[in-house]
Amino acid sequence: MTTGRFAPSPTGPLHLGSLVAAVGSWLFARHDGGRWLVRMEDLDTPRVIPGSAGEILGALERYALTWDGEVVYQSQRLPLYEAALNELRARDRVFDCACSRADLQRAASAPVGEEPIYPGTCRDGIPDGRPPRAVRFRGNGETDDFIVKRADGVFAYQLAVVVDDAAQEVTQVVRGADLLSSMPRQIALQRALGHPTPEYVHLPLVVGPDGKKLGKRDGALPLPSLDDRHVADTLHDALAFLGLRGARASSPRSMLAEALERLPSSVIAAKRDIS
């Protein structure tokens, strides 16, 4: 059975870009008669905004995006990530790294602000007995040596997402194309941990007038206050973005039901192309 999921980071209210990911993943899972889970990715504590998880869940309810089971909070699952990290250590698939961002920038002479490719400085041990900072995955050519536990002690998104998708038996990941470059890293981690790889679908990104991704971090407008007309309008926009422009029905539930019926001819074709 298909199990899809929506995994928002509670760092602000839902916006049109995240609504598209929610609607897209909901439609794909429900179309297959599958389950749809919601997981709050609240590990990046410095960025989490109190109250925003509740706000996101309230919005999903208003949009009739019903989920199955309990909402999972990553902040309550640290022992699972620790266990996976230990597993990776036992298999020699991670190493401690002492490099600071400044070290890496110097080594790569990368322009400030761009993520330099890790040059492998600490792969064979930390030089000069410096203290370990982050933990990195040993990429072995499939991927770079990306961080799985940050210098501030926070488990990285890549590790947590792989652990949770496996633990929740997620078989279908539908999300924005901004996460496309994470896919090879996540597949490499799944292989290193012996987990199955779900089906991946990356939806086109909603961009602003400047061509940049609409996102909380870029100051995107949150969804307008959730009165019924705004809900119908924004859901209509999200569906239209997915190629499912339909009538503005009276309730989000009937708009979604109608979109589900029209899925085979449009989105499923796109899904075949993308995956």
Tell me which residue of 271, 205, 201, 253 sits closest to 15, measured CA to CA: 205
Q: Which of 41, 42, 145, 164 binds ligand GLU (CB under 6 A)?
A: 41
Q: In this complex, which beta carbon is closest to ligand GLU, that of residue 175 or of residue 236?
A: 175
Residue 7 touches ligand GLU, criterion: CB under 6 A: yes
Q: Tell me which long-range contacts 239-244 makes (C-beta under 8 A, separation of at least 24).
A: 239/23, 241/16, 241/20, 241/204, 241/206, 242/20, 242/23, 242/24, 242/27, 242/203, 242/266, 242/267, 243/267, 243/270, 244/27
**Least distance CB 50 / ligand GLU (angstroms):** 17
Q: Which of 53, 84, 179, 206 binds ligand GLU (CB under 6 A)?
A: 179
Tell me which residue of 96, 202, 190, 196 sits closest to 147, measured CA to CA: 96
Q: In this complex, which beta carbon is closest to ligand GLU, that of residue 7 or of residue 214?
A: 7
Looking at the chain, how many residues does it have? 275
Residue 8 touches ligand GLU, criterion: CB under 6 A: yes
Site size toward ligand GLU, by CB under 6 A: 7
Q: In this complex, which beta carbon is closest to ligand GLU, that of residue 30 or of residue 175?
A: 175
DSSP state, residue 126: -
**Least distance CB 270 / ligand GLU (angstroms):** 18
Q: In this complex, which beta carbon is closest to ligand GLU, that of residue 28 or of residue 95?
A: 28
Q: At a CB cut-off of 8 Å and minimum separation 6, what does 231 contact?
A: 62, 63, 252
**Least distance CB 128 / ligand GLU (angstroms):** 36
Which residues sit at the interface with ligand GLU, rule CB under 6 A?
7-9, 41, 161, 175, 179
